[in-house]
Amino acid sequence: MKTLPQVLAVLTTAVATALVSSVANAAVLPASQTQSSWFTAGAEAVAAKVAEARNTGTAKNIIFFVGDGMGVSTLTAARIYQGQVAGNSGEENRLSFETFPYSALSKTYSVNQQTPDSAPTMTAMITGVKTEDGMLSVSSESIRGNCLSSKGNELKTALELAEDLGKSTGIISTARITHATPAATYAHTPERDWEADSNLTAEAVANGCHDIAYQLVMDAPGDGLEVALGGGRSYFLPNTVIDGEGAKGRRADGNDLTAAWGEKFTNAAYVWNKEAFDAVDASTTDHLLGLFEASHMQYEADRADDTAGEPSLAEMTSKAIDILKKNDKGYFLMVEGGRIDHAHHAGNAARALADTVALSDAVQAAMDKVDLQDTLIIVSADHSHTFTIAGYPARGNPILGLVHEPNDETISTTPAMAADNLPYTTLGYTNGPGAKTGARDDLTAIDTTEVDFLQQAQVPLSSETHAAEDVAIYAAGPGAWLFQGSVEQNVIFHVMNQAGALGGSKY
């Protein structure tokens, strides 16, 4: 009996032979077609796919990138934005992970909502089980906000399985590391808002539920996380403490969890600014906690102006890999671009796109560090937003600008007009703070590319909402080929479990 790799090799050869035969028997095409750069590029892309072999080995390392709120329209706009920043038309550009060989679509609904929040979506991706909105790594048998109901309904995460195998683990986020997406990797709670003990209800305290920050340090799985980098410093500090940037702690129990980190773990370091982060020696540091803001970290567009300085998402990713890779058994790392979501909620496309590019840069930093023969990299999103790319702008039209339609082979100097005789932007939102109850603002003399500009929206809301359409999955490395077609969001866990041999099986 042939082994799976042998069967795949035979199939690959057969497909290649069939394609060659098909080309040989094809009709002769006109030179205007075959000499086109589009035709050549398309043929080369297919040839590369034919030559590509599936990596059916085991993933020693898994790096899971999550762009919070990074829907397909966000990817498209960010791709163009990055290309235009580099001085090109933008449409032909590709984000780093868009070069990955395998992709799929992920269905994001939760157990109780068509349009989900980040808690059940990340729970699905990290445990293999869908749950209800607002709950982290507990099943839908739990009741949101009820501690007792969650007892016995905890779901084991991929990060915890990696810890069980003796692997090193880490989480990174530009949001608070107690926020929904990073928290779902290590915490179990029926309420995503229980980030500090001061957020707990009397019922939660009485029934022994711990807050999320406490769980990260004191209830950590295995020998504890090796890396935890992001925002949320106030949730780890007592309310009697003022931090280095003047913010007051939120803990009512008197615990300083930043100090507890150093006491609990060996070769441990805690840092809160860029200078201290840069000084960390990865070769001698085995447990690194970095909390760079009292709440969320700065948007990428504003990071350079931060008082104490903050590392970029790419810098945090690179440092984390240097610490984690010292373990011969491998590692599991989750990296979140958390503020893509926040910028969209604010109706602020410029910051959302800059943070998406920052996530792409972090993926590239990981690709530069690892060997894809033994490292599985997955990039996906928890949900989308009501973010649109509309009108008929000419190719190369500024993605953040007003719509200017083509004029022969140039861009019209006059903006396109809507039925209300006012110009409009390419990017917009279905709902959010950019909407008005009266007539639209005249954008003729407005710089819509300015970072603080809020795109116009249809339905007035104080905060733009999530959207329910599928999001993309991109993957490279061992097991990446398992991502094909349209899948339920919880399948992501099962691919990581299968490819990484994490042992999370009922069989």
- Length in residues, the chain: 507
Residue 18 CA, chain-centre distance (Å), reads 39
H helices of 232-378, in order, are: 257-264, 274-279, 313-324, 339-345, 349-369
In sequence order, what are the residues at sequence separation of 6 or more whose Cβ sits closer than 8 angstroms to the Cβ of residue 25?
none
In this structure, which amino acid lies at residue 4? L
Helix (H/G/I), strand (E/B), else coil: 39? helix
- The two tokens of residue 24 are 């040989």
For the chain, the straight-line distance linking the first and the last C-alpha, in angstroms and rounded, comes to 24
Alpha carbons 345 and 432: distance in angstroms, whole number: 7
Number of C-beta neighbours around residue 142 at 10 A: 25
Largest separation between any pair of C-alpha atoms in the chain:
79
**486 catalytically annotated:** no
Q: Burial level of 214, CB count in 10 A (0-12/13-18/19+)?
A: buried
* Residue whose token pair is 């020693």: 60
Among 259, 254, 177, 257, residue whose Cα is nearest residue 217: 257
In sequence order, what are the residues at sequence separation of 6 or more whose Cβ sits closer than 8 angstroms to the Cβ of residue 341?
68, 69, 118, 175, 385
What are the distances in angstroms from CA 384 to CA 72, 87, 463? 7, 28, 14
Q: What is the DSSP string of 426-451?
A: SEEEEEETT--SSSPP--TT--TTST
Among 195, 192, 282, 194, residue whose Cα is nearest residue 231: 195
Q: What is the DSSP string of 91-155?
A: TT---GGGG-SEEEEEE---SS-SS--HHHHHHHHHHS----TT-BSB-TTS-TT-HHHHTT-B-
In sequence order, what are the residues at sequence separation of 6 or more whose Cβ sits closer than 8 angstroms to the Cβ of residue 350?
301, 343, 400, 449, 450, 451, 452, 453
Catalytic residue among 73, 96, 110, 118: 118
Number of C-beta neighbours around residue 254 at 10 A: 11
Angle between helices 4-24 and 37-51 (to 10 degrees): 150
Catalytic residue annotation: 118
